[in-house]
Amino acid sequence: MTDPIRLSRWSEFSPGMIHGVFGPSGAGKTTWLRHIIGLDQVPAQYPKEVAFLSQNPHLIPHDTIRQQVLWFGDPESLLRWAPILDLSETLLDRYPGELSGGQYQRAALLRVLVTERPILVLDEPLSQIEDSRRFTILETLRTYITTVHPDRLIILSSHHWDDLWLVSDTLSLREPGFRSGPHPTATVYRNPPTPGFARLFGYVASIPCPQGGYWLVHPMSLTLESHHGPGITLQGTFQAARVGASVRQWVFHCEEPHIRLRWPGLPALIGTSLPNHIRLVDPPWVPYRLPPTQEEETP
């Protein structure tokens, strides 16, 4: 079997890792994946060491899932992966036309995983699967690639930032007119290269830094308690609006700078007394201003 790391097109990646490809729809993620595989060449060059799962996979309609999966892998691989993907014996003996959208997508992923090829290129493989099941599958893939098969490489494209933050070691970013990576995922998260990616990473606002540039605000870095590490205090007021029988949405208004932050949930220890400040813990610095949302611009 060819060593994938010796092929020039894979030289940026390391085995035993998950490499994420992230960006909004229409940013060219699929085009880039097809390019590194060789599918954009004439004639197409499909490396034998690659198993590719396209964004719109096609299962063979006249064979059961079990039959076509066993064309690519052995029964042992089928028994290993089918329960992880929540594909029961009954589902394995169905035809593709008898499956729901999520079941179809999981069956297509199963067909790729059983190949045991050293490089898996997965283009939006879990887009139709609910969050809880998707996270379980991703965590299993993460454990599998780091402990069971550290000689394999997974390249995973997704428009779900939470998915890639959960499992990817390195990250390539794609935005119309912008390319970057691969870089360590944590480094990219702390240094969003554009305002668009800052928004996609979950940053909700920016505030001017006295030395120039801006600090980025992320809900996960906000605290109501004293914090002894580096941070910034924002003065303002809380407002609450009931959005359900027992659920309230909290919004923090700050006039200088003028921002409105939707709070992800207040700790129960506050009781009925709301603070007039919040603490932004260790915010990342960027050279650009994050454009306010329409809600933030509303007086």
Range(s) of the domain holding residue 268: 203-297
Please give the helix or strand (H or E) that residue 165 lies within, else none: helix 161-167
CA dist., res. 8 & res. 10, Å (int): 5
Mean pLDDT computed over 45-65: 91
Q: Does residue 6 carry a pLDDT above 50? A: no
Whether 16 is covered by a domain: the verdict is: yes
CATH of the domain at 136: 3.40.50.300
Least confident among 36-40, 163-167, 294-298 = 294-298
Can you give the pLDDT at residue 9? 61
Q: Six-digit token pair at 130?
A: 């609910």
Query: Residue 230 domain-assigned?
Result: yes
197 belongs to a structural domain: no
Which of 157-166, 169-178, 272-281 shows the lowest per-residue confidence on average (mean pLDDT)? Answer: 272-281
Count of domains for the chain: 2
pTM for this model (two decimals): 0.84
Q: Do 63 and 153 fall into the same domain?
A: yes
Handedness of CA 288, 293, 297, 299 (dihedral sign): negative
Among residues 164, 192, 220, which one ends one of the domains? 192
Q: Is residue 198 part of a domain?
A: no
- Verify that 104 and 27 share a domain, yes or no: yes
DSSP class of 150? T
Same domain, residue pair 76 and 168: yes
11 and 90, same domain (yes or no): yes
| Co-location of 224 and 166 in the same domain | no
**pLDDT over 70 (residue 74):** yes
Q: Among 151, 167, 192, where does a domain finish?
A: 192
Choosing from 192, 219, 246, the residue where a domain stops is: 192
Residues 115 and 33 in one domain: yes
Amino acid at 216: L
Q: Are the C-beta atoms of 31 and 39 separated by less than 8 Å?
A: no
Q: Would you give the DSSP letter of residue 293?
A: P
Confidence band for 2, pLDDT divided at 50, 70 and 90: very low
**Nearest by Cα to 51 from 113, 134, 130:** 113
Say yes or no: 39 and 179 in one domain: yes
Average pLDDT over the chain, rounded to whole? 85
User: Within this chain, do residues 132 and 240 fall inside the same structural domain, yes or no?
Assistant: no
Report strand pairing: 277-281 vs 259-263: unpaired
25 and 151 belong to one structural domain: yes
Closest CA to 213 of 189, 186, 187, 195: 195
Q: What is the rounded (10 degree) CA torsion for 106, 110, 112, 115?
A: 180
Residue 270 has pLDDT above 60, yes or no: no
pLDDT in tens, 213-267: 999 998 888 877 666 666 788 888 887 766 666 656 778 888 887 888 877 665 5
Q: Residues 250, 283: one domain?
A: yes
Structure tokens, 131:
């969050």
One domain, residues 113 and 260? no
Average of pLDDT values for 174-178? 86
Residue 172 lies in a domain: yes
Euclidean distance between CA atoms 169 and 18, whole angstroms: 6
102-144 tens-digit pLDDT: 999 999 999 999 998 889 999 999 988 888 889 999 999 999 8
* 60 located within any domain: yes
Residue 54: pLDDT over 80: yes
Residue 134 lies in a domain: yes
One domain, residues 264 and 128: no
Q: Looking at beta carbons, which pairs linking 123-127 to residues 24 or more positions away fall under 8 Å?
A: 123/29, 123/30, 123/33, 123/52, 123/53, 123/54, 123/55, 123/157, 124/55, 124/157, 124/158, 124/159, 125/53, 125/156, 126/158, 126/163, 127/55, 127/158, 127/159, 127/160
Task: Decide if 83 is inside a domain.
Answer: yes
What is the rounded CA–CA span in Å between residue 33 and residue 51? 12
Encoded amino acid at 189, one letter: Y
Question: What percent of the chain clears pLDDT 90, i.e. is strictly above it?
Answer: 45
Task: Give strand ranges (E) for the chain.
Answer: 17-22, 50-53, 119-123, 153-158, 170-175, 178-184, 205-208, 214-217, 222-223, 231-235, 237-242, 248-254, 259-263, 277-281, 285-286
- Give how far the C-alpha of residue 297 lies from the chain's centroid of Cα atoms, to the nearest Å: 29
* Average pLDDT of span 59-74: 93
Spatial distance between the Cα atoms of 128 and 104, rounded to a whole number of angstroms = 9
